[in-house]
Structure 1
């Protein structure tokens, strides 16, 4: 028997600022599992393109670069080759570029196996937009974590204020609406719930309440 097929995966998909990253990290910690932040992988790829001075619209050169880079994570740190880029990849302009690069089919294919390599014992919590539909279609549990865009905008706005960044709630809302449109309307691996995903609306839930709901779902399916 291929032991990789017996390793459980909890796939958590959802739109930007739905809380899936924080929730996934807490669940992985509670279960003692590995975690895949697929958004960070795309952000690292975007940062690599910016660092190299490549025009993001020059898909051929961007793809050539992305196929050569080495991405790894240690604890909560992200590395591009040997450079710690944990802080750099969380900048808004990097996230926007990652969203613009994500629809590229060849880029997604180049990063697919890298993501699947994160599936290691005792288990994996995978956070992203196509974890349950494309990357881990055989995941033991699939969650689609959603929240209305106004609630997500307020969360993102508060995060930015805490980080000392000046912005307006209206601008954050417009940015999220734009990202949602790109993610949901792209031809390749669009953001959508897997057919067998359990949908959770976190608009009125705290992080702890959301974590508890997902862990309850896990307890039910692992029986």
Structure 2
């Protein structure tokens, strides 16, 4: 792909809005790479939990980051050479990922890596601050949301399908707490970029949301 053909798609939104699923579908249809930024934070959170590192011990966190490699290949996220797709999707890792995302050291490392990926090739990225911080010049920006109830139902069904024993009320409470934490954190809080198109996916199917985004992109000559 020539440099002038490179473009970025930024998809932001709260937990459980369906960003990752939609981003993957959009990337597949456009034939470009999907970068799961949320999974990158989850990978860091997973490693911190595994190593039993205290987030208050900044030097230990920085040392761990310096010895961490994260990559994507064939739909898999690879942490230090190991595929960790399932390991990073537990409630414990979800909470730790949110905590890690508030640490300047963690964000600096991952944001630098994400920007490098976006400069090298056409990509779809989803997360909390892609359009407002990571890819501020992205050609296409979308902000996906849905009611807390629906997002909790989606997450609950996903976890149950994976055989995890979870309580719906606990999942809903976690969604609401994460919304508050992500939106009020001092460092790059969750918010819609001024030039982003907002999509409320409540009651919409994956196909409907995907088609809406693809239609918007094709309006500008990319397909």
TM-score band, normalised by the shorter chain? over 0.9
Task: Name the residue aligned to 1:73.
Answer: 72
1:64 and 2:63 aligned = yes
SS of equivalent to 1:194: coil
Deviations 1:1-36 (A, max 9, x none): x93x75200100011110010000010000000111
Give the match for residue 47 of structure 1: 46
Distance apart, 1:57 and its partner CA: 3.0
1:169 CA drift (Å): 1.5
Report the counterpart of residue 108 of structure 2 in structure 1.
109
- Which deviates further from its counterpart, 196-205 or 98-107? 98-107
Asked whether the 8 Å contact 2:35–2:72 carries over to 1, the reply is no
Confirm whether residue 143 of structure 1 aligns to residue 142 of structure 2.
yes
TM-score of the superposed pair, with normalisation by structure 2? 0.93
Aligned residues: 221
Q: Deviations over 1:95-128 (max 9, x none)?
A: 1101011111222112111111222665211111
Aligned to 1:192: 191
How far off is 1:152 after superposition?
0.3
Deviation at 1:186, TM superposition (A): 0.6
Task: Indicate the larger mover: 68-77 or 160-169.
Answer: 160-169
Question: 5+ residue gaps in structure 1?
Answer: none
Contact 2:183–2:191 (CA under 8 A) maintained in structure 1: yes
Structure 2: distance between partners of 1:48 and 1:161:
24
1:12 aligns with 2:41: no
Aligned CA RMSD, in angstroms, stands at 1.7
The answer to whether the aligner puts 1:133 opposite 2:132 as a matched pair is: yes
Residue 66 of structure 1 and its aligned partner are, at CA, apart by 1.3
Q: Which runs of 5+ in 2 are unaligned?
A: none
Whether 2:214 is the aligned partner of 1:215: answer yes
Alpha-carbon distance in structure 2 between the residues aligned to 1:194 and 1:121:
23
Which TM-score applies when normalising by structure 1?
A: 0.93
- Contact between 1:27 and 1:211, CA under 8 Å: does it hold in 2? yes
Query: Which residue number corresponds to residue 177 of structure 2?
Result: 178
SS at match of 2:160: helix
Q: 1:31 to 1:121 in 2, by over 3 A?
A: farther
1:153 is aligned to: 152
Q: For 1:80 and 1:171, how far apart are their aligned partners in 2?
A: 29
Name the CA shift for 1:59/1:177 in 2 (closer, same or farther; >3 Å): farther
* Shift in Å, 1:62: 1.3
